[in-house]
Structure 1
């Protein structure tokens, strides 16, 4: 529930704040109201709206489409893609287990048995013909060709762009990604709930190592509550240039990142096609 902050702060997290002498100020609400955010899209129509962390209603999809907005859902499991197709979405982003950052699905199956991208595309293709946008570990033109051969129309690429000149992530985060491309040891990623309460993939760092035993703790506050609780910790790490306590979101293709211009990366991907 995003309206109230009613989970207890885990003892390990509160101890960490005290040990590091970091001020923690919890907001009254852990997240913005979804209804209010959706209203902004109704009042200011955009060409495309994409949704993640759950599914909206058929009525909401129709309302957006009546305003000229195309609707894209996110799925980590074929059943989630099918659910988006059934309520009339225009396309679905299928996000494989390789993808960096937060997983967009909501069914227990997608967390219990995360699927690799090619498996996810082929199994989704078998149950719906909605256009698919593929995400997860795509770093090269060859990978774009592979997902198109498997049945996706488009590729969505995140991690490859993070180390390019137009990307606004902080320098410490960018350097950690570049270090991962130099050294196989530091290119290890993890799916974790420890930063936000929802599964997300990032580079393995001290925070994830030190608190690994709480990863599957049933008392871990859910998203977005834990996200609100770790906000000051992440901000402090960013301010003190500490990569070990930031959420360094990255996909499994992170070893292939390069320090290059954003345009250079785009040109290279097109050339490799």
Structure 2
């Protein structure tokens, strides 16, 4: 059975689960159209997540996906590194208050419990891998399980524990890298290479992600061996997306030639590699772009939160994390349905 049939979709389109950018309304709109809408919930408190799942269920009776970030208890409870001197000085110079939270991220175990208590059609996971027992528990509840991989070995690991599919994320993808093995960072692969190498080591169904913006891109990854295409950046400038106006305008400016569409892989915002538009923050602090010198994820993410909030309040795109993939020059200001109609017209 094809993944399209397994997930009960009309079109081979998955809307990427971009934490902080997706909304229940966006997910429901994509699902109602016949694609797979999703909600990036890795940064969402468990009680809020329960409410958001209920909202999506009230807006659609079609399959949708909830995505969580796999973090260990040590990772989500611990801040054991100092605020970097350069960041501390930036806060002082700009009179930005910085009161670090007790925990740098949400409790993953509690978030996963929400999916047990309030089952969803599809769950996906990034930044790590869950156990075979956890996969089976979800499947027993009627939930399909999708892993994320930047390397064939990660895809095989998901296949080995019984996942229904793997989203293979090429180096072109915007936002955070979903892999967790050293190989995915030491030798990052382009999407078509990743699909080919993954197909050679496992026959698990694949969803392709990274730089996909058009119907032609979708057909290309299907020819290469993926069944579905996951698009993120293309949805960021649509009406149902939850990003702030300053971020959205920066993406549109990049597509219209009013600012550079150059993207950069950086650790400077969160401690974990992520691709976004080049801006002054990444230029000004480029000398600190070193894994060994930066607090790890999610600690640095908790530390830069105050800068990003201040930038959003002051409509300052130069100090926001402007996550975007390498296809950003093709974004359009349009409704979610207009984007979907445009994609399926040429499929």
2-side partners of 1:50 and 1:260: how far apart? 27
Gaps of 5+ in 1: none
**TM-superposition CA deviations, 1:103-135 (whole Å, max 9, x none):** 110011111111100000010000001010111
From 230, 235, 238, give the equivalent of 1:164: 238
From 230, 240, 246, give the equivalent of 2:320: 246
2-side partners of 1:123 and 1:214: how far apart? 33
1-side partners of 2:111 and 2:259: how far apart? 41
The structure whose RCO (Cα within 8 Å, separation 6+) is larger is: 1
2-side partners of 1:161 and 1:30: how far apart? 28
From 181, 201, 214, give the equivalent of 2:288: 214
Check conservation: 2:253, 2:259, Cα contact below 8 A.
Answer: no
SS of residue matched to 1:268: helix
Q: Name whichever of 144-153 and 255-264 sits farther off.
A: 255-264
Partner residue of 2:260? 186
Check conservation: 2:312, 2:320, Cα contact below 8 A.
Answer: yes
Partner residue of 1:38? 112
SS of residue matched to 2:104: coil
- Alignment of 1:148 with 2:222, yes or no, is yes
- Alignment of 1:259 with 2:330, yes or no, is no
Check conservation: 2:250, 2:259, Cα contact below 8 A.
Answer: no
**TM-superposition CA deviations, 1:221-260 (whole Å, max 9, x none):** 0000000000111000000000000000000000011112
TM-score of the pair, normalised by structure 1: 0.98
Check conservation: 1:184, 1:255, Cα contact below 8 A.
Answer: no
Partner residue of 2:248? 174
**TM-superposition CA deviations, 1:36-86 (whole Å, max 9, x none):** 111111111111110000000111111111111111000000000000000
Provide closer, same or farther for how the CA distance between residues 184 and 150 of structure 1 changes in structure 2, counting only shifts above 3 A: farther
CA shift for structure 1 position 19: 0.7
Partner residue of 2:153? 79
Check conservation: 2:175, 2:275, Cα contact below 8 A.
Answer: yes
Check conservation: 2:132, 2:162, Cα contact below 8 A.
Answer: yes
SS of residue matched to 1:83: helix
SS of residue matched to 1:2: helix
Provide closer, same or farther for how the CA distance between residues 148 and 217 of structure 1 changes in structure 2, counting only shifts above 3 A: closer
Q: How does 1:79-118 map to 2 (within 5 A)?
A: 79-118=153-192
From 129, 132, 136, give the equivalent of 1:62: 136
Gaps of 5+ in 2: 1-74
Partner residue of 2:306? 232
SS of residue matched to 1:235: helix
SS of residue matched to 2:251: helix
- Alignment of 1:10 with 2:89, yes or no, is no
2-side partners of 1:105 and 1:14: how far apart? 30
From 297, 300, 312, give the equivalent of 1:223: 297
Aligned length: 273
2-side partners of 1:97 and 1:208: how far apart? 19
Partner residue of 1:269? 343
CA shift for structure 1 position 219: 2.3
From 185, 207, 211, give the equivalent of 1:133: 207
Check conservation: 2:272, 2:297, Cα contact below 8 A.
Answer: yes
Q: Deviation above 2 Å: which 4+ runs of structure 1?
A: none
